[in-house]
Amino acid sequence: MSISWEDSYLGKLRKEVGSRMLIAPAVRAVIQDAEGRILFVKRKDNGEWVMPAGGLELHESIMDCLIREVKEETGLELISAKPIAMYTGPNYEYTNGYGDKNKMFAVVFLVEQWPGQLLEETDETSHAQFFALDELPPIPNLYLETIEDLEKYQKYEQIILK
């Protein structure tokens, strides 16, 4: 079961500070199937296709956050993952749907092992599907940047392994 916005760390903090700029630590999961397709989920709150992701809670490690978010949004059990990118800085400042200003600090993980049954719908998502890179649904630009960074990472990894 998902944590409600009101009960989340960021939700509680917002009650105290209003809508002024906050740093919002988060994770994002890149999950690929055997054909190299990437998993996207469709959010219930805004209808956007996104990678499984979410905010860090108090008393939670970054890996625990990743495990929780992947489970909540996909039903999959995360066994192992490795960090491949981080996003922060002025380009990652945004206003959310509630008018709150956030500065993103996101760590992107490439999920290596993930057994379980992919859920079509969860508390937070209405669809889940693997997409080939040439058949992506409309996605926010930050996910296109994540895919570019994934490709760079995988090319670099191939060079290292040779």
CATH code of residue 101? 3.90.79.10
23, part of any domain: yes
User: Using one digit for the tens of pLDDT, what is the confidence trace for 15-29?
Assistant: 999 999 999 899 999
Lowest-pLDDT choice from 56-65, 72-81, 95-104, 134-143: 95-104
Q: Is residue 3 part of a domain?
A: no
**For the chain, how many structural domains are there in total?**
1
Torsion, Cα of 53, 118, 40, 11 (10° steps): -30
For residue 157, what pLDDT is reported? 80
For the whole prediction, is pTM greater than 0.85?
yes
Q: Are the C-beta atoms of residues 125 and 39 closer than 8 Å to each other? A: no
3-state DSSP of 99-149 = CCEEEEEEEEEEEEECCCCCCCCCCCEEEEEEECHHHCCCCCHHHHHHHHH
Residue 56 in any domain: the answer is: yes
What is the span of the domain harbouring residue 72? 9-161
In a domain, 26, yes or no: yes
Give the residue-averaged pLDDT of 32-45. Answer: 96
